[in-house]
Amino acid sequence: MLAPAPGLRRMADPMLRVLTSLIFIIGGLGHFGQHQIMLDRMEQSPWRDLIIAIADPSLLLWLSGAVFVVFGITLALGLSTRLSALLLFVTLVPITITIHIAPDHIGPLFKNIAIMGALLFIAARGPGAYALDNRWQRQNDTS
């Protein structure tokens, strides 16, 4: 009785890919457009010294922004879907630990945890319908 219709089932994977990717594309663009605001947030982190020990915070912000935008787009398109999801996951983990494990950041912390769950789900399940990965797989199968 509660089973989804075939059309909805077919659209679930691409919708998950696209909707999950939007937070990375928009957030990654924010790393560029709101660079100083995000640097100020990093400065307030209780993990500030760890961030600085890893690399220049501004450089880390530029790099993570680039990963978010590029692999957010490839995730949405279903292009190298598993790799895209895993790279986004690996980039999101240190950001979550160093920025969101802080007082008054419970909402963003659990939002990121939920997003990490979606990324792991996508990586485990694959692209689903309407993905460029599928098109290239069919072409390779016929060659």
Task: Annotate 82-110 with DSSP letters as a single string.
Answer: HHHHHHHHHHHHHHIIIIISSTT-HHHHH
List, for residues 40-92, the tens digit of each pLDDT value: 989 988 899 999 999 999 999 999 999 999 999 999 999 999 999 999 999 99
**Are residues 22 and 73 in contact, defined by beta-carbon separation less than 8 angstroms?**
no
User: What is the residue type of 103?
Assistant: P
Distance, in Å, from the CA atom of 95 to the CA atom of 92, rounded to the nearest integer, reads 5
- The two tokens of residue 104 are 């008054």
**∠ Cα 31 37 41 (to 5°):** 95
pTM: 0.90
